[in-house]
Amino acid sequence: MIKSNSGIRKTDVINRRMFIIGAAKVVVFVGIVARLFSLQINENKKYLTLSDKNRIREWKLPPTRGNIVDYFGNVIAGNLKVYQLHIIPEQVENFNYLLVRLKNLLNLSDKRIARINKLKAELKPWDSIIVSENLSWSQFVKINNYLYDLVGVKPVMTISRNYPFNDVYTHVLGYVSQPNEQEILENETIQERFVPGMKIGKLGLEKRLENHLIGTNAIQRYEVNAYGKRINQLEHQKGEQGSKIRLTVDTEIQKACGELLNEKAGSISVMDIYTGDIIAMYSSPSYNPNLFLFGISQDEWQLIRNNPLKPLINKTLSGLYSPGSTIKPIVALSALENKVIDTKFKVKCTGKMELYGQTFHCWKEKGHGWVSLKNAMKQSCDTYFYEVARLLGVDRLNITAEKFGLGKKVLGDYFDNEKKGLFPNTKWKKNNLGKGWVLGETLITGIGQGYIQSTPLQLCMMTAQIANGGFAVKPKIIVDSNPISYEDAKQSMESGLLFDTNSEELLDKKLFKNQKNIKIVQEAMFASTNERFGTSYKSRIDDPKYQFAGKTGTAQVKRISKRERELDLELEQIPYKDRDHALYVAYGPYVNPRYALSIIVEHGGSGSKAAAPIAKKLFKLIIDRHDLRNKQSNFERITV
C-alpha cells in the first residue's frame, strides 16, 4: 500500500510537472510562429528583393558605337561584323591538345598561348577566353571545318569599329582602342558602360565625342547559382547604338588632299568662307587607324613612330609654322586700315634694306625697284613689307592679325591637340622673354618670320575671312542641329551681322573699319595669282569658274648665312631638314568666292613651286563639287 501510495504520488508529480512543461511548449511554439510571421509576412518584400539579388545577375554587352558620316552621308567611321574565337574552359576535354590544334590552325604565337594559359588560370571555368579578336574569313571557315575536333571552342560573330577609308581621316577621327584604367576613371559614361573588350575613342573626334558615340549597353539578365554560373537567360534588353555624327567634310576632297600630299609631310585645309564648314583637313603622312583596333603589333607601331615625316602629329592643328609671305595680306590690310599707307604708297626695293647696321634681304637679290601695294603683294616684295611694317609697328599689326584668328585656337575645344600659335607684340616679348622689342623684329614679323607661329588651319581661316569680305566665320567640322545654309550665312554676313545659331544672338562680325581695304587686299591677291610676274602665276586657272586668288609663302626653318645666300643652292642640294617650308593660301572662285584653303608642304622649298600647284589641282575638284554640296545641305539633322 505504501508502495502504491508512493506510486500515485509519483504519478501526480510527473503529471503536474508535465503540465508546467506543456504550457512552456505552447509559449515557445507561439514564439516560433511569431518569428516565421515576421520573416515571411512582415519582411517578405525585403527578403524577396535579397533573393532576387542573389539569383539574378546582369551581363552588359559592349555598346555599338554611332556612325560618323561625311557631309554626303558616306560612313567614314562605321561598324563591321568580326569573327572571334572563344574557348569555354569547362567544356574543353583536353586543354593542351586544343591549344596545339589552334596554334597550328591560326598560327598563334607562343606569347599568345602563354597569355591564354594565364587567362585560363585567372577566369572562372565557364567564362570564355578570347583566343582571337579578329579572325579572317578563311580562318573562320577553317575553324568551323574542324569544329568537331575542337570541343569547347566557340566561333563568335560580333561588331567592331571600322574605318572604311583607312588613313584618309585618321587625324580628324582618331581611332578607338581598349581603354586604360585612367580613361575609365576619368569618364563617368565609360565607367558606367564599360565591359571587357569594349573600345573607346583615343584621339580626335572619336575621343571628343565619346559620350555621344558610345551607345548604350545591351543587357542580358541571367539566373545564376551560388557559384556565379549562368543557369538560364531571363531577358534580353537591347542596347541603343550611339548617335550618328555628320561631319562637314567631303570625302572626295579629303581623299584628293591625301593623294596630293603623297609621300610629303604637310597639311591641306579647305573651308567654306561663309558657313565655316571645314571641307577637308588633311595632315600628311597619315596612318591606318584600323591597325589599332585589335592592338597594333610592335613592328607596325615602330614603323609609324619612327617615320621621319612624323605621321603621329596632326600638322593641321598642332603643326606650328612661320606663315612667311602668306601673312602679307594681313600686314597690308592692317596698314591700310590704320591709314599708314594707301594704294599709291610706293617703296623702292634695292634687294635689301639697312636698319641700324643690320641688313634685311628681299628674296630677289636684284630688287624690285619702285613698288606699290599691288605689285609688292604680286611679287611678294619683302622690302616693301619691311617698310610697311616699320611704319605700322608690331602692336597695330598684332591687333589686326588676332582679329583674323591668328594666335587663337580655331576649333576651340574640339581637338585637345590643337595649338594656338603665336602672334607677338611688344607686351608679349616683355612678359615672356623679359626683353624690350627691337624694331628689326617688326620688320621680319612683316614678312611672317621671327616669333610668329601659326597652324595651317589658322591660315586657312585668315584667308576665308579676307575672302568673304572681312567677316568673322566660326569654323566647324560637325553639322549641328541647326545648320545654316550657305546663302543664309552669306546674306547675314553681308548685312554685317551673323546670326549665331548656338547663342541665338545677332553678333557683329565685321572685322574691318573700311571694307574698301579688304577689296584692295583681295585685288592684290588676285594679281599675285593671275597677273604676269605674280608668284603663283604658273598655277593660275583662267576659266572664271575656277579662277582663284592666293598668296605664296616660303618659311625659312633656319637663318640663311651669307655664304648660303651667295651659293643659291638648288633644293636637292640642301639637306631635307634645312629646306624651307612651302606655303600657299588661296580662295576661289574669284568672283563670288566660296572656299578658302591653306597648303603647307614641309621642307618643300618655295611656295610658288611646291604649294601653289597643289591648289590648282584642288580648286577644280572643290568647285566642281559645290553644286552637289548645296543639294545636300539639310538632309539630316543631328544634335550634338
Partner 1 sequence: MFQHDRLNNEITLFQKIKNLDYILLISVILLSVLSVFVMYSTDGGEILFHTKNHFVKLAVFFPLMIFVAFFNIKFWHNFSYIIYFIVILLLIYVSFFGLKSSGSKRWMDLYLFVLQPSELMKVAIIMCLAKYFHRIKIENVNSFTSITIVLSIIIIPIIFVISQPDLGTSILIALSGLIILWLGGMKIKYFIYSFITFLISLPFIISFLKPYQKLRILTFLDPDRDPLGAGYQIIQSKIAIGSGGLNGKGFLKGTQSYLDFLPEKHTDFIFTLFSEEFGFIGSVGLLILYSIIIFRILRIGAISRSNFARLFCFGYAFAIFIYIVVNLSMVLGLLPIVGSPLPIMSYGGSSMLATMIGFGIVLSAKINHKQMIA
Binding site for partner 1 (CB under 8 A): 6-7, 9-11, 13-15, 17-18, 21-22, 25, 28-29, 32-33, 35-37, 39-41, 43-44, 46-48, 50-51, 54-55, 223-227, 231
Shortest approach of partner 1 to residue 59 CB, angstroms? 16
Shortest approach of partner 1 to residue 220 CB, angstroms? 17
494 neighbors 469 (Cβ within 8 angstroms): yes
Shortest approach of partner 1 to residue 23 CB, angstroms? 12
56 neighbors 221 (Cβ within 8 angstroms): yes
Q: Which residues contact 362 (CB under 8 A, 6 or more apart)?
A: 349, 351, 352, 353, 368, 381, 382, 383
Shortest approach of partner 1 to residue 34 CB, angstroms? 10
Look at the block and give the residue holding cell 599689326.
Answer: 397
Shortest approach of partner 1 to residue 126 CB, angstroms? 14
Nearer to partner 1, 13 or 569 (CB): 13
Shortest approach of partner 1 to residue 52 CB, angstroms? 8
What are the beta bridge partners of residue 550? 586
C-alpha pair distances (Å), 22 with each of 25, 32, 36 = 5, 15, 21
Nearer to partner 1, 151 or 234 (CB): 234
Closest by alpha carbon to 157, among 172, 143, 175? Answer: 143
What is the rounded distance in angstroms from the CA atom of residue 612 to the CA atom of residue 262?
Answer: 16
C-alpha pair distances (Å), 543 with each of 101, 534, 590, 618, 619 = 67, 17, 10, 14, 12
Shortest approach of partner 1 to residue 29 CB, angstroms? 6
Residue 95 φ/ψ, nearest 5 degrees: -65, -45
Residue 472 in 3-state DSSP? coil
DSSP structure string for 614-640:
HHHHHHHHHHHTHHHHHHTTTS-----
What is the rounded distance in angstroms from the CA atom of residue 331 to the CA atom of residue 569?
Answer: 30
The angle, 0 to 180 degrees and rounded to 10, between the axes of the packed helices 515-530 and 328-337 is 150
Shortest approach of partner 1 to residue 105 CB, angstroms? 38
Grid cell locating 112:
599568345
Residue 553 φ/ψ, nearest 5 degrees: -155, 145
Grid cell locating 544:
572664271
Nearer to partner 1, 37 or 97 (CB): 37
Nearer to partner 1, 224 or 438 (CB): 224
Shortest approach of partner 1 to residue 20 CB, angstroms? 9
Nearer to partner 1, 11 or 514 (CB): 11
Nearer to partner 1, 55 or 154 (CB): 55
Shortest approach of partner 1 to residue 124 CB, angstroms? 15
373 neighbors 380 (Cβ within 8 angstroms): no
Q: Return the DSSP state at 40.
A: I
What is the rounded distance in angstroms from the CA atom of residue 323 to the CA atom of residue 581?
Answer: 9
85 neighbors 155 (Cβ within 8 angstroms): yes
Grid cell locating 187:
569618364
Nearer to partner 1, 57 or 346 (CB): 57
What is the rounded distance in angstroms from the CA atom of residue 353 to the CA atom of residue 52?
Answer: 88
The amino acid that residue 432 corresponds to is: N
Shortest approach of partner 1 to residue 310 CB, angstroms? 54
Nearer to partner 1, 14 or 439 (CB): 14
Shortest approach of partner 1 to residue 228 CB, angstroms? 10
Shortest approach of partner 1 to residue 480 CB, angstroms? 51
Nearer to partner 1, 20 or 591 (CB): 20
Nearer to partner 1, 4 or 573 (CB): 4
C-alpha pair distances (Å), 150 with each of 88, 96, 100, 119, 401 = 11, 11, 11, 19, 69
Nearer to partner 1, 7 or 73 (CB): 7
Nearer to partner 1, 30 or 507 (CB): 30
Nearer to partner 1, 48 or 567 (CB): 48
178 neighbors 199 (Cβ within 8 angstroms): yes
Grid cell locating 109:
604565337
